[in-house]
A and B are shown apart, each in its own frame.
Chain A
């Protein structure tokens, strides 16, 4: 398949998914470039067991997370301490300011708080919410992307909802 065709078919999906993770236009553009470079150089290794779309989804999630880890390491000025950063801190407002262009300004405060809570959740719960609620994927496709069963996905979403409700409850008190 022609690479330009793959790019045109998936660019919007990759860009928007990256945006949900990094919350900034510039970073999402950089991640989109990195994702397509990886697709270009590994397209021969692509096994047709999975759909091209789910494969690209997985690459995008990994690339976005790696990008944020690198950003956190840079902020810490490299060195040996930076090696122990295993996940980016979405709670760090300086490192990851909320500049998602997909939300209205009036909702910004509310969405920002919700997004920071979502990204504090365990990885699987976070990815389940991003894929099903933000990307609005069907449960089957989201489960394929995460390489889990639909039942496990439902379980992650249920637990995520419960965790977020607890956080809202805490905030109210």
Chain B
């Protein structure tokens, strides 16, 4: 029966046809998938912990960057002649 033919009945109660919907069974495999995903979920690091970890990581990187900048500035061969470390390097003694 198409829509036009049945439109009179539909005008009376448009939703009557929806009563004929059959409830569907759920596949048993679904529990296996859900429980597997739940165990992964329970291992996940909470958001607050993740934020702290990112902040610590950023601080560590900043420290490493600062250390490198200081090394370049004070100890790097290009600036040896200007630093207090010049005399500490044996090989420069023979130059």
- Taking the complex as formed, is B11 at the interface, i.e. its CB lies under 8 A from any CB of chain A? yes
B71 to chain A, nearest CB (A): 43
Interface size on B, as a range, is 20 to 34
Q: Specify the main secondary structure of chain A where it touches its partner.
A: helix
Interface size on A, as a range, is 35 or more
Q: Are A37 and B38 in contact (CB under 8 A)?
A: yes
A151 to chain B, nearest CB (A): 19
A16 contact set on B, CB distance < 8 A: 23-24
Q: Are A168 and B10 in contact (CB under 8 A)?
A: yes
Q: Specify the main secondary structure of chain B where it touches its partner.
A: helix
1/0 per position for B28-60, CB-CB distance to A under 8 A?
A: 001101110110011000000000000000000
Q: What 17 additional pairs, Cβ within 8 angstroms, besides A25-B24, A32-B26?
A: A12-B23, A12-B26, A29-B30, A33-B37, A100-B21, A109-B3, A110-B1, A110-B10, A114-B10, A114-B17, A114-B18, A133-B18, A134-B18, A168-B14, A169-B11, A171-B4, A172-B4
Q: Which residues does B use to contact A, with CB under 8 Å?
A: 1-4, 6-7, 10-11, 14-15, 17-27, 30-31, 33-35, 37-38, 41-42
What are 18 pairs between A and B in contact, CB < 8 Å? A7-B31, A12-B24, A12-B26, A16-B24, A20-B21, A25-B24, A33-B33, A37-B34, A41-B41, A102-B22, A110-B3, A110-B17, A111-B17, A113-B3, A136-B19, A161-B14, A164-B14, A171-B7
